[in-house]
Amino acid sequence: MTDSFSHMLRTGRAADVEAVLALWRRAEASPSSTESSEDVGGLIGRDPEALLVAEAGGEVVGSLIVGWDGWRATFYRLAVDPAHRRRGLASALVRAGEERLAALGARRLNAIVESHKPGAMAFWASAGYQLQAGRSRFVKNLP
Ligand SMILES: CC(C)(COP(=O)(O)OP(=O)(O)OC[C@H]1O[C@@H](n2cnc3c(N)ncnc32)[C@H](O)[C@@H]1OP(=O)(O)O)[C@@H](O)C(=O)NCCC(=O)NCCS
């Protein structure tokens, strides 16, 4: 998979985990309680195709987690390196994620988006996702 700016899109592997965590720090993706190497390694261990990365010049510059539970699909951790933004990279990652999910039979896709980030909100709207009113997200961290 390549986009029009010679970024290569591919499935992320265990060897990419540290680079992906570094990208999330550069991209100022807000940290959560699931940001360790073990957490991301666990994701890949359970679903080896769940992590998409974009690479440029041998460096990981984009990421998207494509979660599929057999019923519904959820995107997490869409992040693009600040130096590579506004070139369609996030759009290419989401398109690749949608293709993967369609092949798996998914019909309803969710994106968890930080509502205080106008760029993120604008991106998902531009990608054709509708903001769902009347729902709130409840979370709980297990010890
Ligand atoms: C949000 C983010 C992933 C967008 O990545 P990107 O590769 O720059 O996005 P694209 O180039 O594919 O943008 C496609 C369209 O989305 C919209 N968009 C993207 N970023 C935007 C911004 N900062 N402000 C307004 N609209 C934006 C535009 O309509 C854009 O099309 P255009 O460039 O022709 O105007 C990136 O800014 C990022 O990593 N932000 C920090 C982490 C984050 O907030 N992630 C999302 C959490 S769900």
Task: Summarize pLDDT for 21-69 with one digit per residue, the tens.
Answer: 999 999 987 777 788 899 999 999 999 999 999 999 999 999 999 999 9
- Domains located in the chain, CATH noted: 8-126 (3.40.630.30)
9 lines ligand 1 (CB under 6 A): no
CA of 127 to the centre of ligand 1 (A): 10
Mean pLDDT of 13-19: 97
pTM here?
Answer: 0.95
Structure tokens belonging to residue 68: 């599929």
What is the spatial distance between Cα 29 and Cα 50, in angstroms, rounded to a whole number? 18
Residue 130 buriedness (CB in 10 A; 0-12 / 13-18 / 19+): exposed
**Closest ligand 1 atom, residue 111 Cα:** 48
Say yes or no to pLDDT of 4 above 70. no
What is the spatial distance between Cα 128 and Cα 37, in angstroms, rounded to a whole number? 32
Q: What are phi and psi of 140, to 5 degrees?
A: -145, 130
Query: pLDDT at position 35, please?
Result: 83
What is the spatial distance between Cα 50 and Cα 40, in angstroms, rounded to a whole number? 10
- Residue whose CB lies within 8 A of the most ligand 1 atoms, among 60, 65, 81, 86, for a mutation test: 86
Query: pLDDT at position 3, please?
Result: 55
CA of 64 to the centre of ligand 1 (A): 13
Residue 75's identity, in one-letter code, is F
Structure tokens belonging to residue 78: 């869409």
CA of 47 to the centre of ligand 1 (A): 26
- Residue whose CB lies within 8 A of the most ligand 1 atoms, among 87, 109, 123, for a mutation test: 123
Split at pLDDT 50, 70, 90, the class of 2 is low
Tokens 């998207």, residue located: 64
Task: Summarize pLDDT for 84-106 with one digit per residue, the tens.
Answer: 999 999 999 999 999 999 999 99
63: left (phi over 0), alpha (psi -120 to 50) or beta: beta
